[in-house]
Structure 1
Amino acid sequence: MFFTRKKDIVGIDIGSSSIKLIQLKSQKGTYQLQNVGLVPLPAEAIVDNTLMDSASVVEGVKTLIDSLKITAKEAACSISGNSVIIRKISLPVMPTEELEEQIHWEAEQYIPFDINDVNIDFQIIAPDDIDSSKMNVLLVASKKDIINDYLAVFTEAGLKLTVVDVDSFAVQNAFELNYNPDPDEVIALVNIGASVMNMNIVKDGISLFTRDVQLGGSLYNEEIQKHFGVNNEEAERIKISESAADSDRLKDILARANDTLAIEMRRSLDFYNSTAGEGKIGKVYLSGGGAKSAMLPETVSQKLGIPAEILNPFSKVRFDEKEFDPDYLKEIGPLVTVAMGLATRRLGDK
C-alpha cells in the first residue's frame, strides 16, 4: 500500500504464530491457485506486531519459498495493530495529483507521530454526503521503522517487498474475491489472529470503520495452560483437537474464551452502530486462526444478534484437486485469508 507495472506477486502473511503464503495466477476474470503453504514461528518471534526474532522470520519465509519451489521474486505483506493509523477524513474536493502533494500537510493533524517518521497513503472514497464541496478520504499511516524491518526481512529472504497492505484491507480483498453481498448490506469482517483481532465494517466495497484489538486466539491457549498446567505446544494441541482428560472443563474454558472474544466484538460493533449513518450491520464473517475455535460462530451470532459464519477464501478460487486437497484447503482457509487477500494485490494498486 505504501510503495508501478502490474505483475503477479506472492502474498505472505507474517503473523505472530505462523507465516502463511498464497500464490495466485490471474485467469479469465478469476484466479487459479498456484501455491499455498504455512510454517509455524517460535513463540515471541513477533510481539505486539514488532519483529523480535528477524532471523526466525527470514528462515520461515525461505522455507516456504524453497519447499514450494516458488520462482517469483516480488511479494506483498501486511501489518496491523499499533503500527498502523487508519482515519477517514473529509477534505476539500481536489484532483488526486493535487492531494498527493498536500496529503502530508493534511495528515499532520490526524497522525499522533512525527510526520517525518511515517509512511502515508490514501484513497479517495466518495464525495461527502452533506457537503458537496468536500470528499471523504481514507488515510493510512505506518511508522517507517516497522516498514523498514519488513523490507529487511524480505530482502534477506531473497524477495522484493513491493506492496505493504493492512491486515483488515487484505481480508476485505479476500472477501470481495469470493462473495457478492448486496450493495446496501453492511458487513463486519473480523480477523482473529493469535494476538490481534482486526475489525473492518464494509459496505459496497468501502471500509466504513476499522479497529484493531490486542486480543486473539492465544487467549484460548493461555486459559488451557492455566487450567491444565501444560505448556503452549500442548495447549495448542488440546485446543485444536478439542480433547482433554477433563472434557467438560475444556468445553467450559473454550466457551468462556468464545464469550470474551464475542463481547469484545460487540463493544466495537456497538460503537460503530451508535455513530454510523450507513445502516446496521447485517452479517459477520470470521477469519484468522482464532475463527477455528469450536462454537465461536454460534457464540458470536448469539451475542451480536446477527448471523455469523467462517469466511471461505477459496470459495471462488479455482484449483486442481489433483494438486490441492479440498479438505486441506477447507481446514486452513481461516488461517490463510489475509495471505489470499495479499495474493490478489498488484504493484500500483490502490
Structure 2
Amino acid sequence: MFGKKSSLIGLDIGSYAVKIVHLMEAKGTYRLKDLGIAQLPPSVIVEGAIKDPDEVQAAIKKLVTNLKTKVKGVATSIAGWSVIIKKVDLPQMSEEELSENIQLEAEQYIPFNVEDVNIDFQILGSSEDKPDRMEVMLVAAKKEVIDDYVTLIRKAGLAPQIVDVDFFALENAFEANYDAIESGGVALVDIGATKMNINVLKNGVSMFNRDASIGGYQITEDIQQRFGLEYEEAEKVKLGMTSEKVPVQDLEAIFVSAATGWSTEVKRAIDFFYATYPEETIGQILLSGGSSRLPGLDSLFNKDTNIPVAYFNPLAKIDFDTKVFDQQYVDYIAPQVAVAVGLALRRVGDR
C-alpha cells in the first residue's frame, strides 16, 4: 500500500506462523531461492494485531538466519479487523482525479476516521448498466497497525518496502500461476489459524470478497477444552500425534464439526455471490492456508457447493532446484505459503 525493481522477501506474518519466500526473476520466469516457516506461540497475533512483538521479531530473525538470506527488503501484508475492502460505485473520473478526491469519496464507506487510515484503490472499469459511473475496489488500513508491522520488521533487521493486504497477495499468486478458468470465475478460499478469506475472481478482477473469524485454532481450542490439554499438546494431537487422553472417534468428531462450519460459511458466501450476480458462475474453488489441509475438506466443499475443488499451488509455474528443495515438502507446504509467494512477486516501486 505504500512504498530499479529489485526483488523482495515475501514475509507473511500470520497468527500461527511466520512464512518467508524469496523468488529470483530472470527472463520473465521466477525461481524459488528461499522458503521457510517458523511457528509462533499462541496469541502473539490476534485478529491481525501484534500483541507480543518480541516473540514475532525473534521468530523472523531466527528464520532469516536459518535461511541465510542476504536480501533485506521486505513485502509484507496485513489482514483482519484493521483492513476494509469494498467494491464501490463512483462517478467516472481519471486515476489522477480519484487520487486527489479519494479521502472524500471513501469517507462514506469506511467505518473509521479517514485521518486514521491509509487509503488505496483500484479502478475496475465502467459500471455495466451505468456508463457515467465506474466500479472501484477501495482499500483502507489502520495506520497504527501498519506502523506496528513496519516497526516490528525494522527491529528484526529488515527493511519494509511494501505493506500489502493478504487479499491482494493471494490474487497476485493466482495470476502468476494459473490461466483463466473457461467455465467461470474462481473462488480463492484461504483458511488460516484464526481467519478465512473468500475471494471470487473473474478475468483477474475481484468480484466479491468476504472474511470470517474462523480457522484451525478453533480445533486446537476445542481439543484443549474437551480433554484438558495444554496448547502445545493439543496442537500436536491436531497435527496427528496420538494420545491416550484423546479417543480417535472424539477427535474425528471435532474435525467434522469444524469442517462442516467452514463449508457452511463458504456455501453461504457463494450463495450470496450468486444472488448478487445471477448471470455469473464459479468454475472452481482453490483452497489455501495451513488449515485447508484438514483431511477430507476438499471433498466436503465439493459436496456442499457442487463446484470442483482443488488445492491452490502458488508455486505451479515457479522453478526450483529439487536438490535444494524436496519435491514432496514443497507440494505439501505450497498452499500454506500462498500469501508469502504473492508478496515475493512484488518489486520495489510497485504501487
Same fold at TM > 0.5: yes
Q: Does 1:164 align with 2:142?
A: no
Residue identity opposite 1:116 in structure 2: E
What's 1:283 paired with?
A: 284
Alignment-derived partner of residue 185 in structure 1: 184
Distance of aligned partners of 1:242 and 1:281 in 2 relative to their CA distance in 1, 3 Å threshold: farther
Classify the secondary structure of the residue corresponding to 2:141.
Answer: strand
Give how far 1:92 is off: 2.1
Amino acid at match of 1:144: K
Deviates more, 1:242-251 or 1:138-147: 242-251
Structure 2 contact 199–210 (Cα < 8 Å) conserved? yes
Amino acid at match of 2:333: I
Between the aligned partners of 1:233 and 1:336, the Cα distance in structure 2 is 22
Q: Could you tell me how far 1:10 is from its partner in structure 2?
A: 0.5
Partner of 1:257: 258
SS in 1 for 2:343: helix
Tell me which amino acid in the other structure corresponds to 1:334: P
The structural deviation recorded for 1:155 is 1.0
Q: Is the 8 Å Cα contact of residues 9 and 74 (structure 2) preserved in structure 1?
A: yes
The Cα of 1:338 is off from its aligned counterpart by 0.7
1:292-303 to structure 2, matched below 5 A, reads 292-303=293-304
**SS of structure 1 residue aligned to 2:103:** helix
User: In the TM superposition, what is the alpha-carbon distance from 1:46 to its structure 2 partner?
Assistant: 0.6
Q: Residue 2 of structure 2 aligns with which residue? A: 2
* TM-score of the superposed pair, with normalisation by structure 2: 0.95
1:81 is paired with a residue whose SS is: coil
1:277 positional shift: 4.7
Q: Relative to 1, partners in 2 of residues 1:266 and 1:198: Cα closer, same or farther, differing over 3 Å?
A: same
SS in 2 for 1:132: strand
Residues 1-350 of structure 1 aligned to structure 2 (within 5 Å): 1-3=1-3, 5-182=4-181, 185-241=184-240, 243-245=242-244, 246-277=247-278, 279-350=280-351
CA contact (8 A) 1:239 1:293 kept: no
Residue 28 of structure 1 and its aligned partner are, at CA, apart by 2.3
Alpha carbon RMSD of aligned pairs, Å? Answer: 1.5
Q: How many residues align?
A: 349
Q: Structure 2: 5+ residue runs without aligned partners?
A: none
Offset of residue 135 of structure 1: 1.5
Between the aligned partners of 1:347 and 1:126, the Cα distance in structure 2 is: 26
TM-score by structure 1 length? 0.96
For residues 99 and 207 of structure 2, the distance between their equivalents in structure 1, rounded to whole angstroms, comes to 22
3-state SS in 1 of match to 2:266: helix
Distance (Å, rounded) in 2 between the aligned partners of 1:298 and 1:220: 19
Structure 1 vs Structure 2: percent identity of aligned residues? 43
Aligned-pair CA distance for 1:182 = 2.5
Counterpart secondary structure, 1:138:
strand
Bigger shift: residues 75-84 or 183-192: 183-192
User: Aligned partners of 1:237 and 1:286: how far apart in 2?
Assistant: 23
Decide whether the 8 Å contact of 1:184 with 1:203 is kept in 2: no
- Structure 1 residue 74, shift from structure 2 partner: 0.9
Supply the distance in 2 between the matched residues of 1:9 and 1:71 (Cα, whole angstroms): 11
